[in-house]
Amino acid sequence: MPIEFMSTHSEGKKIYGVIHFPKKVPAPLVIASHGLFSSKESEKFIMLGELFSENGIALLRYDHRGCGESEGDIRETTPTSRLKDLEAVFSFAITHPLIEGDRIGLLGSSMGGFISIFKASSDPRVKALVLWATPVELRKREGSLEGGLLGDGFWQDALRYRAKGAMEKVSRCLILHGEDDELVPFDHAKRLFEAAKEPKRLVSFPQGDHRFTDPEDRRRAAEMSLRWFKEFL
């Protein structure tokens, strides 16, 4: 399937991404937002781009500022800056001539899912949402990797965001979560699901970890995501 490299700007920082297009265009689009220290080059997102484009849906995967190819410093990232990156990419995508601007969905992994909740809850142009291993709240873990790399500004900013409240405005949401997630306990998924409006679905992976490293879990999650967007975009 054809691939297009794209770039846009978020608060003066250049944001780079890749769009996987299906053969038939214009096409519906899914914007994929990666986790805190991940990038658009994650194996999951590359796989999703190939799967979706083979099945009639375009997928845009991008690097948040301070990650991958995009400009910026990861130490300056905040939930607000991540959300602004997503909004900049959304604004780019909705006017793209090969994208059906009224058929856009969001997919997010971990932190990417967290910010996608707030975009979906505030923008009716988002038609469907899929969350992989997504937290309902952001809490600093003492001695953790993120605790050392992120400044106090990140955690202060995080206090402004209450995903459970935002989910009360979200429908057409699929939540995928491993029961053995070592970073975001499965209870987070249950709380998000309880808050969301119908239609919604929660799928648990009995031995799944945070990154969906098991090939069968990853394949199932990808196929479920595709079916969800096929139904609601």
pTM of the model: 0.96
Q: What is the mean pLDDT of residues 98-120?
A: 99
Q: What is the pLDDT, as a whole number, of residue 5?
A: 95
Q: What is the mean pLDDT of residues 75-92?
A: 97
Q: What is the mean pLDDT of residues 194-221?
A: 98
Q: What is the pLDDT, as a whole number, of residue 139?
A: 80
156-195 confidence digits (pLDDT tens): 999 999 999 999 999 999 999 999 999 999 999 999 999 9
Total of domains in the chain = 1
Q: What is the mean pLDDT of residues 69-82?
A: 96
Strands in 63-161 per DSSP E: 99-109, 126-132
Quickly list DSSP for 4-25: EEEEEEETTEEEEEEEE--SSS
Quick one: pLDDT band at residue 141, thresholds 50, 70, 90? low
Amino acid at 202: L
Distance, CA of 130 to chain centre: 8
> Which residue range(s) make up the domain with 21?
3-232
* CA dist., res. 142 & res. 90, Å (int): 34
Cα-Cα-Cα-Cα dihedral sign, residues 50, 52, 57, 63: negative
- Statement: residue 147 has pLDDT above 90: no
Choose between 208 and 152: higher pLDDT: 208
* CA dist., res. 173 & res. 189, Å (int): 12
CATH code of residue 143:
3.40.50.1820
Quick one: pLDDT band at residue 143, thresholds 50, 70, 90? very low
Contact 208, 160 (CB under 8 A): no
- Statement: residue 196 has pLDDT above 90: yes
